[in-house]
Amino acid sequence: MVSQSTIVEIVNDKLNVDGCFLVSVEIKPSNSIIVTIDSEKGISIDYCVEISKLIEHSLNREAEDFSLEVSSAGIGQPFKVLKQFQKNIGKEVEVFTAKKAKIKGILTEATEKDFTVREEKSVKDEKGKSKELQVQVHQFSYDEIKYVKDIIRF
């Protein structure tokens, strides 16, 4: 069975040179290899094909049979690595916490330890007549969330 570390070794240098990064490598028991990549500017289908060919030519199909899928991180899919958080600073995200709270706001900061989201809400005043804008800043450690994903508005 092909190892995850082998795939990482094969693609990491190429991705770094091209300004891209590895999001995940999943190897299923059926020897199905699923590689997800991303970059600040997005990933083209042609680039996915290029990475797929790089992996194919680096592995020996005669020694081990496998299927291979290389794709870009999808729109609206949960973030998996720090670089995805950093790429989306200044953009609207949805945070679903481990306590099952859903917060929508602007991702303002992302470090190795935690990230920050600025949430703006329209809340009725005490008399219930007019609404006022309230801003809350939420700081989360990565272990207190279930997922974070970008929000796409058209």
Secondary structure of the chain as H, E, C letters: CCCHHHHHHHHHHHHHHCCEEEEEEEECCCCEEEEEEEECCCCCHHHHHHHHHHHHHHCCCCCCCCEEEEEECCCCCCCCCHHHHHHCCCCEEEEEECCCCEEEEEEEEECCCEEEEEEEEEEECCCCCCEEEEEEEEEEEHHHEEEEEECCCC
The pLDDT tens digits for 15-44 are: 999 999 999 999 999 999 999 999 999 999
The reply to whether 77 falls in a domain is no
pLDDT band for 153, please (50, 70, 90 cuts): confident
**Predicted local distance difference test score (pLDDT) of residue 1:** 80
Q: What band does 70 get if pLDDT is binned at 50, 70 and 90?
A: very high
Q: Tens digit of pLDDT for each residue in 123-152?
A: 877 776 777 888 999 999 999 999 999 998
Number of domains in the chain: 2
Query: Structural domain of residue 30, as residue ranges?
Result: 4-72
Same domain, 21 and 59: yes
Are 62 and 86 in a shared domain?
A: no
pTM: 0.85
Are residues 47 and 90 both part of a single domain?
Answer: no
Domain shared by 66 and 86, yes or no: no
Are 90 and 45 within one domain?
no
Residues 123 and 144 reside in one and the same domain: yes
Q: Is 132 a domain residue?
A: yes
Q: Residue 112: which CATH number?
A: 2.30.30.100
For 74-131, how does the pLDDT look when each residue is reduced to its tens digit (9 = 90+)? 888 999 999 999 999 999 999 999 999 999 999 999 999 999 999 998 887 777 677 7
